[in-house]
Amino acid sequence: MFSLSELAPLNQHQSRCKLLKPWWEVFMDYLVVLMLMTSVLACTEQLSRDRVVCIPLDPLVPPTTSNHSPSSNREALTPSSKTPNHVPRNISPNTHTTARGRRTHLVYQQYVYISQVCYHEALPLCSRFFPYMAMLQSLVLVASGSFWLHFPHTSARIEHFLAILSKCCESPWTSQALSHAARQESIQEKEVVEERQPPQPPLSSNSSSAPVVRTRGSSIDSGTDSPLLKRLDSASFTPPSPCPSAHSCHSNISSLSLGSQVNFPSSKPSLMVDSPRQVISLDKSDGEQTRALFERVRKFRSHSESADVIYKVYLAQTVFKLLMVMVIFSYTIPLLSSLSFTHTCRPEEEALVGYTTFECIHVLSSLLRKLLLAYLTLLGLYGLLNLYTLSWILHSSLRQYSFHSLKDLCSLRDVPDLRNDLAFLLHMLDQYDPLLAQRLSVFLSPVTESRLLEESLERRWGEEKLRSMSSVDSEGSSRLQLVALPRLPPALFTLNQLHVLKLELITEARFTAQVANMKSLRELHLYHCSAAVDPGALGVLQERLEVLHLTFTQASEIPGWVTSLRGLHELHLSGRLSSDNGVGRSWALGSLRQLHHLRVLVIRGMLQRIPGELCEVAGSLVRLEVFNEGTRLLVLTGLKRMVDLTELLLQDCRLERLPSALLSLTNLRTLDLQHNNLRTLEELLSLAALRRLSCLRLAYNRVLALPASVAVLRGLELLDLSNNQLQSLPPALFTLHRLRKLFLAGNLLEVLPAEVKALQLLTELDLSGNRLEKLPSQLFSSCLELHILNVAHNSLSALPRGVAALSRLCRLDLRSNSLEDLPAELGSCPGLHGGGLLVEDWLFLSLPPRVRDFLSRSCPPSGAYSEGNSRPESDSFPYFSPTQWSFSSALESQI
C-alpha cells in the first residue's frame, strides 16, 4: 500500500510538465485520448453485440435410397401445402393466403452453429480485430506522446529545470529585478523623448495635448510605451504583489506567468512599476536563498549546455510518431472496403446442416465502419500536427536561444545567449508563456546578481563591522584584511583612518571614486585578486598609494593600472614570472618605466635571468629582492646597469659562485645570497670594489672554507656564515675590525682562534651548533662590547671565569653542552639578571644562592604572556624554566 503523500510529487511533476508542452502537444494529447475512447467503444460493442446472422441459399440434394422414391424426397424438402394453424387476427380463417419465401428445415441449434462457423470463416480480419488493433495503436501513441519527458536521460534534467523555474517564480528578487529594469527603461525613454522634443511654450488650459505626469514610483508619458512597462494613471495604480505564495506556485504551476504577480490591463506583456517605497529589501534568509538560486542556475546552465540530449530525444519522438501514423494509414485504408454488411459463407459442414451456401449479415458492420472513419480522421489530424512539429523543429534554431525581448532593457541587456538543451527547454517554455523565460532570465543576468551582491554586502558588511575587524600594529598603523568576498563592500570606502588594506580571493573587487574618502590609505595587498579601478579612483591611488603587494598565478593576472601608480615606492610581486613567458616579461618589467619613484622591488617567482628591462627603473631603485623558489638563475648581466642599488637579495636561486655582475654595484651596502648552492668563495677578492658593503649574508649554503681574501671587505659590519660546512676560520677574518655581528652557527668548527680578540667592536657572536670544546680566554678579555653570546649545542666542558669582564653581556646561551658547573663570576654580569642566562635547571642550581637570586631578580610580571604572546612549547627547550624563558624572549624582541 502507499500513502497519498507519495502521489503528491507525481501529480506535481505532471502539472509542472505542462509548462513544456506547446499547443500542438496538448492538441495531440486530446486527439490520442479521443482515438483511445473510439477504440474502447468499438471493443465494448464488439464484445457485447458482435455477431452474424446466416440463412441458407440453396439446398443440398441427399443421395437416393431403396426405401424412398425421388418424389417423396422432394416432397420432404418442399414447403408444406397445409394451412398453418395460427392465423393472424386481421385475416379470416376462410381467407385463402399463399406463404412467401423459402422455408428451411434447420433447427435453432443449427443456426447458432452455422453463425459461429461463418463468423470465423466468412468475416474478414478487419471486421473482427479492428477495435483491438486501434486500441493497441492508441496506447502506443499515448506512450510515445510524452516519452521525452520520462526518458531516463532527460527526465532528471527536465525536473531540475522545472524546479529551478518554480524557485525563480517564487523568489521576491524576481519582481524587484524586473521592476527595476522597467523603471530604468522608462526613465531612459523619457530622457530620450525630452532630448528630441524642442522646447515648447506653456500649454494653455484648453490645449488638447495631455500633460506629462511624473510620479515618484513611475514616469507616465502619453507618447511612449516601454515593452515591459504599462503606464497607468496614478489613480488606478495598484502595487503588485512582491511574490506569489508557495502554495499557489506549487499547486498552479501549470498556469505560472508574470501575470500572477502583476496586472495586465491589455494583451500586450507589461509590467507595473513599483514605487521606491514599495521596493522590498531582502532579509538575510531571502538573500541567502537568492544567492543559492543564482549558483544553482549557474551550475544547471553549465550542465545543460554541454549536451543536446533532450533535443535529440524530442526529434526522434516526433519522427517515430509520424512514421507510426504513416504505417497505420498504409494498412488501414485498404481494409476500409472490406467492412460490408452482407457476406457469403460456404462452410464445409453440409453433412450437418444440409446446405452448402449461406447468406450472412454482420450486425456491427455499419457501426464499425463509422468508428473506423472517425478513427482515421483523428489519426489524420494527429499526423498533420506531427508534420507541423517536425517542420518547426527543422526550420527553427532550437539549440540557440536569445532573449530578444529583454535586449531593450538596459538592466537586462547582459543576459547571455543560451544553447543546446537549456535553449531547447526555453523555446518550449515560450510556446506556453514567454513571460516565464523572463523570470528565469533574472537569474542569468550578471547585472542583477551584482545588485544582489551589493545589497547583501551593504547589509552584512557595514561600517561598524569593518571597524571592529581592523587592527593596529606596533607602528600604530590601522590594518584590515578581507577574504573571499564576492566584491568590496561599499562601507569600506568610509574608513578614513585605514592605513593598510589586504584583499584576498575577491573575484570582482573594484575601486570606485569613493576611495577618495580613504585619506590615510598608503599600503595595499592584493592576494589573487584582480582588482579593477575606475578612472575617478585612479588619480587618488596615484597620489596616495606607496606600497603595493601583488600575489598572482600568471603575470597576465596583474592589473594594468599598476603601471600608472607614479607615486609608488615599494612593489612586491609574488607569482610566476618566467623569462620564457612573453606576457609576464613584457608587463612586470618592461612596463615599470612609469614608476619613477619606485625604491624597492621584491620578486617572488621563477626567473631564469635578471631582465635588462629593470634598467628603466634603475635610476630610482635602491633595493632589489629576488626569491626564485629553487629555479636556477642563469643570467645576471642585468645587474650591471643597476649601479645605484644599495641592497641586493638573491635567495633560493641555486647560485654556485658569486656573480661577476656584482662588481658594478659600487654603492651596494647589503648583499644577501642565502639559500643557494655556493661551495667556494674565491670570488670574494673581486668584491674589493664594493667599499660600502657592510652586510654580507651567506647562510644556508655549502661553503667548505673561508678564503683569506675575506680581508678585502674592510667595511664589513655583519657577516653571516651560518649553516655551512666550515671546519676552520682563517686569521684574515679577524682583521675585519669593524665587524659587529658574526654568525657562525651550524658549522663544523672545533676551535675558535684566539685572534678573535681583534674584534673589539663585536656585539653579537653566534657559535651554536658546532663542535667547540672550549672558548679562548681572549674572547672575554678583549671583546668587551659583547651583548649576545650563543654557544649552545657544543661540547664545552667549562666556562672561563673571565666572563665577569663582559659587563655589557645581556644574553648568554649555554644549553646542551658538557658543563658540570657554572662559575660564580656570572653574578658580575648585571645584564644577565632576570633570565638572560639560558641553561638547564639543574646546572643553574649549581650556582651559589646569592648569584641565583641576583640572576633571577627583576622578572616580568606573571601576566606578561597573554593569549597573543603565549609561551613556547616545553619540548622545544626542555631544560629551561618558564620564568627564565619569558624574560629572555622579551629581551630578544627588544634587541
Q: 579-586 — which CB contacts under 8 Å span 24+ positions? A: 579/607, 579/608, 579/609, 579/611, 580/608, 581/554, 581/555, 583/554, 583/555, 583/556, 584/554, 584/555, 584/556, 585/555, 585/611, 585/613
Per-residue pLDDT band for 200 (boundaries 50, 70, 90) equals low
Instruction: Report d(CA 720, CA 671) in Å as an integer.
Output: 11
Residues 376-404 have a mean pLDDT of: 89
List, for residues 502-554, the tens digit of each pLDDT value: 999 988 889 999 999 999 999 999 999 889 999 999 999 999 999 999 999 88
3-state secondary structure of 304: helix
Q: What is the pTM of this model?
A: 0.60
Domains along the chain with CATH numbers: 4-59+105-153+310-401 (1.20.1440.80), 749-858 (3.80.10.10)
**397: pLDDT strictly greater than 50:** yes
> Within 10 A of 375 (CB to CB), how many other CB atoms are there?
23
**Closest residue by Cα to residue 796 from 816, 766, 825:** 816
State the pLDDT at residue 744: 97
**600: pLDDT strictly greater than 60:** yes
List, for residues 9-68, the tens digit of each pLDDT value: 444 555 667 888 888 888 999 999 999 998 898 888 878 877 777 777 765 545 444 444
**891: pLDDT strictly greater than 70:** no
State the pLDDT at residue 516: 93
Instruction: Report d(CA 292, CA 290) in Å as an integer.
Output: 5
State the pLDDT at residue 48: 80
**832: pLDDT strictly greater than 80:** yes
Per-residue pLDDT band for 843 (boundaries 50, 70, 90) equals very high
Instruction: Report d(CA 519, CA 497) in Å as an integer.
Output: 7
Residues 305-320 have a mean pLDDT of: 89
Q: For 774-792, b where at least 16 C-beta lie within 10 A, e where not — what string?
A: ebbebbbebbebbbbbbbb
Residues 363-373 have a mean pLDDT of: 82
Residue length of the chain: 895
State the pLDDT at residue 440: 83
> Within 10 A of 465 (CB to CB), how many other CB atoms are there?
11
Instruction: Report d(CA 453, CA 762) in Å as an integer.
Output: 61
State the pLDDT at residue 185: 67
**Closest residue by Cα to residue 719 from 746, 691, 738:** 738
C-alpha cell recorded at residue 822: 657554572
Most confident of 141-145, 266-270, 356-360: 141-145
**592: pLDDT strictly greater than 80:** no
State the pLDDT at residue 58: 66
Per-residue pLDDT band for 408 (boundaries 50, 70, 90) equals low
Of 546 and 247, more confident: 546
Q: Which of 155-164, 456-465, 673-682 has the lowest mean pLDDT?
A: 456-465
What proportion of the chain, given as a percentage, has pLDDT over 70? 74
Q: What is the mean pLDDT of the chain?
A: 77
C-alpha cell recorded at residue 655: 647560485
State the pLDDT at residue 409: 52
Instruction: Report d(CA 827, CA 807) in Å as an integer.
Output: 10
Q: What is the DSSP string of 709-770?
A: GGGG-TT--EEE--SS------GGGGG-TT--EEE-TTS------GGGGG-TT--EEE-TTS
DSSP state at residue 880: S
State the pLDDT at residue 782: 92
State the pLDDT at residue 790: 96
State the pLDDT at residue 131: 85
